[in-house]
Structure 1
Amino acid sequence: MSMTKKEQRLRRSRQTRVRIALQRVARLAVHRSNLHIYAAIVSDDGTQVLASASTAEKEVREALGGKGGNVAAATAVGKRIAEKAKAAGIEKVAFDRSGFAFHGRVKALAEAAREAGLQF
């Protein structure tokens, strides 16, 4: 039985989630769609979202001129999530790429967040 693309991605993400849960740190979860990229920092027990940023936010959309599906947009979201995390007093996170390849937009988001001072 063949799996859909989404099922394959979710299967890949499962082991990562287990490993991150053992680390007892907040996780920076990333979701990528064709139009947008989203980042959320989830508490170490997985119960609440401590900070989030995405290209669907009004300010971000205006700054990017509506183009949320490219590397420049991902970089902006990475920067923004790091700033919001700092404001919430979070320094260390585990990067959860949710089964997406660490490449292109996902990589750009991660590197921007690192540069803006998030540790992972």
Structure 2
Amino acid sequence: MKINTKQTRIHKHKRVRKKVQGTSSRPRLCVFRSNKHIYAQIIDDTKGITLVSTSSVNLNNQEFDKIGSNCDTSRVVGQQLAHKSIKEGITNVVFDRGGKLYHGRVKALAEAAKEAGMGF
């Protein structure tokens, strides 16, 4: 039997989303990791809107030498997301890892956001 990794990730994500809900007072920090980039956004699920978003695609125009899929880039994205959200008045969030393991790039993004002042 062949295991489809995409279907497995989607199944895990649905299972996590049953418990993780973003509210107006504590929105959801959703992380999506592809092979080339990492994306993060803060979502209010009650209204169904994205409050703040950033990704490694946005960093290509800046002065970073090595942009792509590595932990250093994830740290920069996490710091950038935290600074944007604090400007918007969002300090506490619920973390949604998107069906991925809390390891590597996902962990680097989360730890950088915590260090920059966000609370999980």
Unaligned runs of 5+ in 1: none
Partner of 1:74: 74
Secondary structure of the residue aligned to 2:63 is helix
Residue range with higher mean Cα deviation, 92-101 or 42-51: 42-51
- Map 1:52-91 onto structure 2 (within 5 A): 52-57=53-58, 60-61=59-60, 62-65=62-65, 67-91=67-91
Note closer, same or farther for the CA distance 1:103–1:46 as it changes in structure 2 (3 Å cut). Answer: farther
**1:28-55 alpha-carbon deviations (Å, 9 max, x no partner):** 0001111100000001426111000101
More helix by share: 1
Equivalent residue pairs, number: 117
Q: Give the letter for the 1:50 counterpart.
A: L
Note closer, same or farther for the CA distance 1:46–1:14 as it changes in structure 2 (3 Å cut). Answer: farther
Separation (CA, whole Å) in 2 of partners of 1:17 and 1:87: 27
Partner of 1:103: 103
Partner of 2:11: 11
Contact 1:35 1:67 in 2 (8 A): no
Q: Percent identity?
A: 40
Secondary structure of the residue aligned to 1:68 is coil
Separation (CA, whole Å) in 1 of partners of 2:51 and 2:3: 32
**1:61-118 alpha-carbon deviations (Å, 9 max, x no partner):** 2332352210000000000111111111101101100001100000000000000011
**1:4-23 alpha-carbon deviations (Å, 9 max, x no partner):** 211110110112212112x6
Q: Give the letter for the 1:20 counterpart.
A: V
Partner of 2:117: 117
Partner of 1:38: 39
Secondary structure of the residue aligned to 1:83 is helix
